[in-house]
């Protein structure tokens, strides 16, 4: 087990991302407060959502293409920005290992958006909402993630 090297832990959902660092394995975890991200106006780009078809003879509604809601598109776009931030930090050598804590959908979007070089640093994940947790809580959850790996 490698004891040296920084592990970054990102706790994210579709609206907020907090970044934590563990400079030495099993050591203290602290929040990188300058890195905190929130979904904002840059995530409200025009939607590519297709129109809806209404049947003339009834109350039925059928989508005309992708059925992703505008809210979901906004959240996914934000999560891709989080993945970009992680990629830039990895290029700068800010961390050696990565752990992602996010609800299942957000976790899937983040994993898919990570470039291969960043995905290779992924040590584990936790499919739960952790954005409001303290650094000490994150440390305990990190221990659990490693125990499952």
Tokens, residue 121: 């640093």
Q: Strand, helix or coil at 120?
A: coil
Query: What pLDDT score was predicted for residue 4?
Result: 77
Question: What is the pTM (predicted TM-score) of this model?
Answer: 0.82
pLDDT computed for residue 60 by the predictor: 53
pLDDT at 44: 45
At 56 the pLDDT is 55
Query: What's the pLDDT score for residue 149?
Result: 82
Q: For the chain (length 149 residues), average pLDDT per consecutive 10?
A: 84 97 95 94 48 52 64 95 98 97 97 97 97 98 94
State the burial class of residue 77 (Cβ atoms within 10 Å of its Cβ: 0-12, 13-18, 19+). middle
Class of domain 7-39+70-148: alpha beta
Long-range contact pairs involving 121-124 (C-beta distance under 8 Å, separation at least 24)? 121/90, 121/95, 121/96, 121/97, 122/97, 122/98, 123/7, 123/97, 123/98, 123/99, 123/149, 124/99, 124/148, 124/149
The conformational region for residue 65 under phi > 0 = left, psi -120 to 50 = alpha, else beta, is left
């Amino acid at each position: 087990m490698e004891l040296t090297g920084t592990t970054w832990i990102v706790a994210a959902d579709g609206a907020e991302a907090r970044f934590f660092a563990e400079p030495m394995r099993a050591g203290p975890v602290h929040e990188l407060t300058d890195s905190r991200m929130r979904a904002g106006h840059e995530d409200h780009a025009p939607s590519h959502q297709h129109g809806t078809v209404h049947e003339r003879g009834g109350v039925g509604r059928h989508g005309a293409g992708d059925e992703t809601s505008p809210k979901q598109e906004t959240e996914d776009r934000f999560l891709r920005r989080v993945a970009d931030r992680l990629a830039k930090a990895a290029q700068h050598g800010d961390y050696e290992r990565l752990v992602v804590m996010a609800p299942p959908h957000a976790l899937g979007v983040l994993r898919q958006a990570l470039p291969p070089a960043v995905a290779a640093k992924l040590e584990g994940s936790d499919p739960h909402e952790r954005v409001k947790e303290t650094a000490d809580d994150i440390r305990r959850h990190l221990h659990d993630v490693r125990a499952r790996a």
